[in-house]
């Protein structure tokens, strides 16, 4: 693309990935002044501000378009070099993928071990809530994502993976202390609850489904921002929570947890979105993930 010189585009990508102009200069083996001049020249060519000079540097909406282009161009360049037999050294393909914490803690990592490593592939995983992973695709930070969105991001394809099932559960002692003595829809909105983080609305959605939208989960909530920690917090009795079925099953079987209402569950549809780009490594990972999801999800 004549109007977007590759050295300037690659420099912008380095600035965004490394977070500062100085770090990008070190990664590219040039001076910080050269990095600043390239980014400024690219902004002049496009007629737009491409990055916010914060720490770390963040791309603007226009910058996200260029960053996405730069990452795609780099992937195509690596594949072309490999096909021509002129790849520098034996550097593996590097794929940036966004995935939600519960998938990461249950079925996703075992799936990655099934990806053939000839040629080798390195994974750069970004953990984000499934309702927000698509945003990383829009920003150009990742090439693919496990997401709850069926609406494809511009320039991406989407395929359904299946349903991630969650069981509303708590310890027997917690149930006796907080949920006995009345219908669940009346007691649950006031009971202490465990949530993943401030973006986690799963427990609220479950309570609203019980109360016909009249109430969400309690304001008395514990924020535990890891999938394993979330499960441990529920098992410790801090509150009730929607536990991923693979993690809930052994605890329910042992009696460490009990279901709040047998038969009730929350199913979250998951999708795989990826760039519409002919990158063999990405296509191979997509097929492997789809096959693993077919076994792990409902």
Q: Which long-range contacts (CB under 8 A, 24 or more apart) does 133-138 make?
A: 133/98, 133/99, 133/100, 134/273, 136/98, 137/98, 137/273, 137/275, 138/64
If one counts every other C-beta atom within 10 angstroms of the C-beta of residue 240, the result is 27
Instruction: State the Cα–Cα distance between residues 162 and 179, nearest whole angstrom.
Output: 32
Strands 221-223 and 266-275: unpaired
Entry pTM? 0.77
- Of residues 77 and 138, more confidence is placed in 138
HSE-up of 75 (CA within 13 Å, CB side)? 24
The 10s digit of each residue's pLDDT in 59-88 is 888 888 888 888 888 777 776 666 665 655
Q: Distance of alpha carbon 165 from its chain centroid, rounded? A: 17
64-73, 76-85, 174-183, 245-254 — which is least confidently predicted? Answer: 76-85
The 10s digit of each residue's pLDDT in 263-298 is 889 999 999 999 887 778 888 999 999 999 999 999
Give the residue among 160, 121, 75, 161 at the shortest CA–CA distance from 284. 121
DSSP tag of 189: G
Instruction: State the Cα–Cα distance between residues 97 and 99, nearest whole angstrom.
Output: 6
Tell me: pLDDT of 2 over 80.
Answer: no
The predicted model gives 115-126 an average pLDDT of: 86
What pLDDT does 89 receive?
52
């Amino acid at each position: 693309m004549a109007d977007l010189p590759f050295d300037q585009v690659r420099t912008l990508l380095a600035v965004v990935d490394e977070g500062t102009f100085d770090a990008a200069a070190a990664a590219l083996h040039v001076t910080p002044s050269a990095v600043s001049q390239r980014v400024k020249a690219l902004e002049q060519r496009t007629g737009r501000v491409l990055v916010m000079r914060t720490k770390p540097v963040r791309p603007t909406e226009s910058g996200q378009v260029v960053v996405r282009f730069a990452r795609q161009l780099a992937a195509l360049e690596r594949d072309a070099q490999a096909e021509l037999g002129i790849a520098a050294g034996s550097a593996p393909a590097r794929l940036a993928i966004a995935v939600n914490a519960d998938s990461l803690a249950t079925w996703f990592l075992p799936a990655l071990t099934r990806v053939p490593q000839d040629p080798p592939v390195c994974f750069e995983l970004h953990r984000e809530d499934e309702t927000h992973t698509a945003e990383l695709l829009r920003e150009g930070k990742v090439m693919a994502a496990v997401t709850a969105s069926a609406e494809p991001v511009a320039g991406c394809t989407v395929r359904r993976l299946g349903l991630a099932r969650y069981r509303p559960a708590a310890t027997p002692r917690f149930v006796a202390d907080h949920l006995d003595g009345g219908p669940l829809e009346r007691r649950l909105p006031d009971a202490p609850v465990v949530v993943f983080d401030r973006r986690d609305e799963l427990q609220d959605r479950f309570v609203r489904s019980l109360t016909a939208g009249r109430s969400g989960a309690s304001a008395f909530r514990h924020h535990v921002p890891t999938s394993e920690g979330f499960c441990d917090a529920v098992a410790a009795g801090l509150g009730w929570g929607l536990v991923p079925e693979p993690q809930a099953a052994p605890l329910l079987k042992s009696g460490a947890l009990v279901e709040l209402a047998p038969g009730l569950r929350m199913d979250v549809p998951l999708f795989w979105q990826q760039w519409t780009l002919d990158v063999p490594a990405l296509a191979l990972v997509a097929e492997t993930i789809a096959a693993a999801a077919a076994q792990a999800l409902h």
